Every structure is written in structure tokens, then in C-alpha cells.
Amino acid sequence: MAKPAPMTFARALYSALAWAAQPLLRRKLRRRAVAEPGYAVAVPERFGHYTPADLGRDGQGQWVWIHSVSLGETRAAAILIKALRERLPQMRLLLTHSTATGREEGAKLLQKGDVQVWLPWDSLRATRSFIAQFRPAVGVLMETEIWPNLIAGCANAGIPLALANARLNEKSEAGALKMGPISRPTYAALAAVWAQTEDDAKRLRNVGAQVSAVLGNLKFDVQPDEVQLARAANWRKALAKPVILFASSREGEEALLLQQLQQNPAALQAAQWLIVPRHPQRFDEVAQLISDAGFALSRRSQWGDILPADAHTIWLGDSLGEMPLYYGLASVALMGGSFEPLGGQNLIESLACGTPVVLGPHTFNFSQASEMAVQAGAALRSADMAAGVEDALALVADAQQLQTMQGKARSFTQQHRGAAGATADAIVQLMKLNAPK
């Protein structure tokens, strides 16, 4: 159990700023809701107001609360939730998010008796209202989420709150050290911290966390949707050329790829190019980029159950929840977020589908997994987008090397599984240690 967290001058100042920023948050939500209507849903929950008023009280002290801020964390949380339900069949899940895509994905995980709400804004009033409303038996923050008032409030209320699948890159470590008077006691107030890697654990300890264990990365336990993989396998039989996927592309990266394809028309002859943006609110923007670059465009949302037959088009994956389908279609994947200094996106799902990955130079958010994948022969590292395109084309042209890397991709993920069970066991143990006597 974490020690109570007293109100320090730094947290009092932070709390005053959080209170003053609430009008700005409301304005931001209204603006985001124009492009993503999900941000207009249940806005009062963001400020600690729940409807109906007695929501959660019948399960007081029984909630297993998991916070997954956005889409990626929610997918990791799904793996953990499955393991928890196996160990706690009667558990009631309280699932919170901060983004519309996270909430939409999280809705798929709910069962009868579960509740999904927004994580409250980190003001004293909103966090106190949230804690009083639900009083969960245990709370789990996914990966990087650190909120001073929420964490302090749980510690003071005797609610064990853990950071699971925890990671901290060097840039975030430096930022936390600069904010030491607020960040150090916040990390210290966590009841448990379960790190992904030893390097993460070292950095987390350096900023004040009491790391309980290094349990690995939950995302290695992903089980790709077999129905989607089967559909992809059937579709691939009808393809005249291999598919190269640009997975989870980020702003600025699509333009880099399109520029390379403009300069190398033979690349369109050698492969079918498929772009799947990381953020769904950018689907239309990326579609316009493709058209403006002079390429014919085919959108997944218009396919139905039949692949498009048009030659020399660029495909746009503008759907949610179909990454296994896209990875299953592809012979190789360029990994988004790694060709601009954005830290890279999760490469593990691609490898679990047996699809080798070409990484750019920027993978600091997944540094250890990326390096391990390269060393295992499941991924390649390219210096920039131009080199990435050439490396991907060379790989699909070499059937033997491609087959070898596909096998190594599957083996790599299988060898590193187990974090979900270990983390679920740790959560159950934390609940037992803090159960009312």
C-alpha cells in the first residue's frame, strides 16, 4: 500500500492551475467534437458529474478500475482484461479513457454490469467526486498515465493504484526530473509499478517510482483476429502483386512516402501500397494528400467484401478495428511514427500476424522491442523513408528472405509472451493485500 500523499506547495499550485484551466478544456472539447463527435459525449463526466447519480454505488468497493487513455493503451488493456476475467470471473470492470478513439474501442470490452466513463480532469473536485462515486477495489493506469491529484486521492482513500505495462523513455524521464517537486511524490504514491523492461524500470526509479517488478510488454500477448486473418489470406490469393503496408502513419509521414512513390514509378508496378493512418480523424486528410499527389485512390470503406480491381491505385485503410486484416494482406509493413521524430508505433501486432517490419530511425517509444526485433531478424532498420521504401521493395522481391523473416516474426512474439498473466496475477495479489480485514 502506498503511503498517504500530503498536499505539498507544488501540488497546491498544480491544483490551482488545473482548476483555472477548466474553461480551456471545455473549449478544446467543443473544437475536437467538430471532427470527432465522440468528444461531445458525456462531457460532465470529465468534471466529476455522473448520471444517474447512484451510478456505481451498488458495487462500491468491488470495481476493478482500468484507465486506458487512447486507442493503443485500450488494445493493451483488452489483453489484460481478458486475463483478469479468467482469474476474477465475478469482477465488475470500471473502464475509463481520455480520447474518443479509446472510448470507442473500449466499448467493445464491456460485459453486463461493467461501466465506462471518462477519466475526470485532474482537479481536486473532479477526482474526489470520481473516487467517492466508485471507490474501486483496485485501480490500474496503463503505460504512462500520471495524474498528481488522482493518484494522491487514491492513496489518501486507501485505494491501491498501480501503473501497469509501465514505460518511460529518456525524453519523458528528463521532463519528469525537471518537474521533480510534483512528479516525484506522484510516482511515489503509486501502490505498485510493473515495468515493461529493465531500462524502463531504471528510469522509473530515477523519477521516484517504487518499481515492484519487470513483467514484460502486454502487447506480446496479442492474439490477432483469426477471422480477419482468414479473410486477408483469401484476398491475397487474388492479388497480382505483393502488398506493402504503411501502418499507423503519422502526420507528415504520408507525404514522405508519396514523394518517394512519385520519384520511383516502378515502385507502383512492383507492389500494391496500402496506407493506414494512426488517427481516424485524419482519414479524409490523407485521402486528399493521395489525390493531390496525383495517385488514384481506393478507400477500404468503399470495398465491402471484395478487393478493388483497379490497377495502380493507392489503398487507404480508413476503418477501425481491422489492423489484423491489413497486416494479413501485407507482405511487409513500414512502421508509422518511426520516419519522423515521433517515437514509433507498436510493431508487435504486425509481427504477431507474421508480417515483418521496416523501421525508420525514430523508435524511442518502443526502443527495446524494436532493437530486439531487429536482432531477431523479424525487422529491418532503415535510415529514412527513401531507404525504407527500397528495403521494403527488396524484401518483397526476395521470396526466400521474406519467408524467413515471416517465420522469425511469429517466433519473436511467441517467445516474449506471458506479461498478461503475470500482470493479472500481480493485480489479484494487490487486491488481496489491500482487502478489508
Q: Which residue has the cell 488545473?
A: 18
Burial 83-106 (b: 16+ CB within 10 A, else e): bbbeebeebbbbbbbbbbbbbbbb
Integer Cα distance of 159 and 194 in angstroms: 17
Q: What is the DSSP string of 62-89?
A: TEEEEE--SHHHHHHHHHHHHHHHHH-T
The helix (run of H) or strand (run of E) holding residue 23 is helix 22-35
CB atoms within 10 A of CB 7: 12
Q: Strand, coil or helix: what is 355?
A: coil
Burial 335-356 (b: 16+ CB within 10 A, else e): bbbbbbebbbbbbbbbbbbbbb
Annotation marks residue 73 as catalytic? yes
Grid coordinates standing for 101?
478513439
CB atoms within 10 A of CB 178: 9
Among 73, 143, 253, 254, the active-site one is 73
Tell me if 165 sits within 8 A of 142, measured CB to CB.
Answer: yes
Integer Cα distance of 177 and 350 in angstroms: 34
Grid coordinates standing for 322?
481491422
Integer Cα distance of 215 and 323 in angstroms: 26
Grid coordinates standing for 259?
514523394
Q: At what angle do helices 9-20 and 148-157 cross, to 10 degrees?
A: 120
The helix (run of H) or strand (run of E) holding residue 124 is helix 124-134
Integer Cα distance of 170 and 203 in angstroms: 8
Catalytic site positions: 73
